């Protein structure tokens, strides 16, 4: 059994909960509305969104959540005005430079899920550098879904499987879910246990579709720039009270049977 160091008073203590989530995904939504409510340009909302992202990573480390995946830029986000897309890329660049040391100190292993083709070369290099520099991070695997689309991830895996079958490297008759997963970009991540979305919207928006198949959903009425560590801890506490049945009957049915 792992012995955990004491946590601060506000933190979620995984020791007191039988089954804390292993993998938490977050759809960081509401930057634009946060800025609009203050009469500010959307980029200011995104800047404050980066601050919230830092708090979220810290909360995941503090609560000893082993996997955190954040939706940083979806394949659909290209539909935004070019200036906003550029702002988001600039913030991502800045984050990867400014936070690398802090992430290493926190024991965070950074990785990216999403299409690298189509991203500026220097962003890909910064991502690769961060992935390399943080490869030993043992406390938290932070996956940033960037230029990411859930359907595309599955379609790409299917294409690779078709190629492997055509080349005789894989027998389609033996294709199981476990084998399929090996072809996913998120193949090395566990299934998502808890999916948090801020801003009151209640959608999954093409985020880690395969991994989120049985995720518990937490839709929070807070705009992302206002997200505090306490929101993360509260979502973990709420998760701990849920009964996960994975399609089974569950304890209530079993008890009355």
Residues with a known catalytic role:
29, 77
Enumerate the H helices of the chain as residue ranges: 31-36, 42-62, 82-98, 100-105, 121-133, 150-166, 177-182, 229-240, 250-256
Q: Give a three-class secondary structure readout of 172-217.
A: HHHCCHHHHHHCCCCCCCCCCCEEEECCCCCCCCCCCCCCCCCCEE
Residue closer to ligand FPP, measured from CB, 77 or 160: 77
**Residue among 13, 29, 153, 185 that touches ligand FPP (CB under 6 A):** 29
- Rounded Cα distance between 209 and 184, Å, is 11
Is 214 in contact with 191 (CB distance < 8 Å)? yes
Q: Which stretch binds ligand FPP (CB under 6 A): 26-34, 107-115, 119-127, 134-142?
A: 26-34
- Give the residue among 74, 46, 70 at the shortest CA–CA distance from 147: 74
Q: How far is the CB of 96 from ligand FPP (least distance, A)?
A: 8
- Rounded Cα distance between 208 and 150, Å, is 5
Interaction between residue 211 and ligand FPP (CB under 6 A) = no
Interaction between residue 30 and ligand FPP (CB under 6 A) = yes
Is 97 in contact with 126 (CB distance < 8 Å)? yes
Q: How far is the CB of 154 from ligand FPP (least distance, A)?
A: 22
The two tokens of residue 126 are 């910064």
- Give the residue among 175, 206, 5 at the shortest CA–CA distance from 113: 206
Total residues contacting ligand FPP by CB under 6 A comes to 18
Q: How far is the CB of 32 from ligand FPP (least distance, A)?
A: 2
Site track 70-89 with ligand FPP (rule: CB under 6 A), x = hit: --x----x----------x-
Q: How far is the CB of 52 from ligand FPP (least distance, A)?
A: 7
**Residue among 11, 24, 26, 53 that touches ligand FPP (CB under 6 A):** 53
Residue closer to ligand FPP, measured from CB, 21 or 49: 49
How many C-beta atoms surround the C-beta of residue 148 within 10 A? 26
Residue closer to ligand FPP, measured from CB, 60 or 161: 60
Residues 92-151 that bind ligand FPP (CB under 6 A): 92, 95, 144
- Give the residue among 244, 238, 240 at the shortest CA–CA distance from 215: 244
Interaction between residue 50 and ligand FPP (CB under 6 A) = yes
- Rounded Cα distance between 115 and 112, Å, is 9
Q: How far is the CB of 256 from ligand FPP (least distance, A)?
A: 43
Residue closer to ligand FPP, measured from CB, 11 or 56: 56
Q: How far is the CB of 29 from ligand FPP (least distance, A)?
A: 5
Q: Residues near 219 by Cβ (< 8 Å), separated by ≥ 6?
A: 197, 200, 201, 202
User: Rule CB under 6 A: which residues touch ligand FPP?
Assistant: 28-33, 46, 49-50, 53, 72, 77, 88, 91-92, 95, 144, 199
């Amino acid at each position: 059994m792992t012995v955990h160091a004491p946590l601060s008073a506000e933190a979620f203590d995984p020791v007191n909960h039988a089954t804390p989530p292993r993998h938490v995904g977050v759809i960081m939504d509401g930057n634009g509305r946060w800025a609009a409510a203050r009469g500010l340009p959307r980029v200011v909302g995104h800047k404050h969104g980066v601050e919230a992202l830092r708090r979220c990573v810290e909360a995941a480390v503090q609560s000893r959540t082993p996997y955190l995946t954040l939706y940083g830029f979806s394949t659909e986000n290209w539909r935004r005005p070019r200036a906003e897309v550029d702002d988001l890329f600039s913030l991502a660049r800045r984050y990867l430079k400014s936070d690398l040391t802090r992430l290493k100190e926190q024991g965070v292993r950074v990785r990216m899920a999403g299409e690298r083709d189509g991203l500026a070369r220097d962003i890909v290099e910064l991502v690769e550098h961060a992935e390399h520099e943080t490869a030993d991070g043992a406390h938290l695997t932070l996956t940033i879904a960037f230029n990411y689309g859930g359907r595309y991830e599955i379609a790409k895996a299917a294409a690779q499987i078709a190629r492997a079958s055509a080349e005789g490297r894989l027998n389609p008759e033996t294709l199981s879910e476990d084998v399929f997963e090996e072809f996913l970009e998120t193949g090395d991540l566990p299934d998502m246990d808890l999916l948090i979305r801020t801003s009151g919207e209640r959608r999954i928006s093409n985020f880690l579709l395969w991994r989120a198949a049985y995720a518990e959903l937490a839709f929070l009425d807070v705009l992302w720039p206002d997200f505090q560590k306490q929101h993360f801890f509260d979502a973990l506490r709420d998760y701990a009270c849920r009964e996960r049945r994975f399609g089974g009957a569950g304890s209530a049915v079993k008890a009355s049977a």
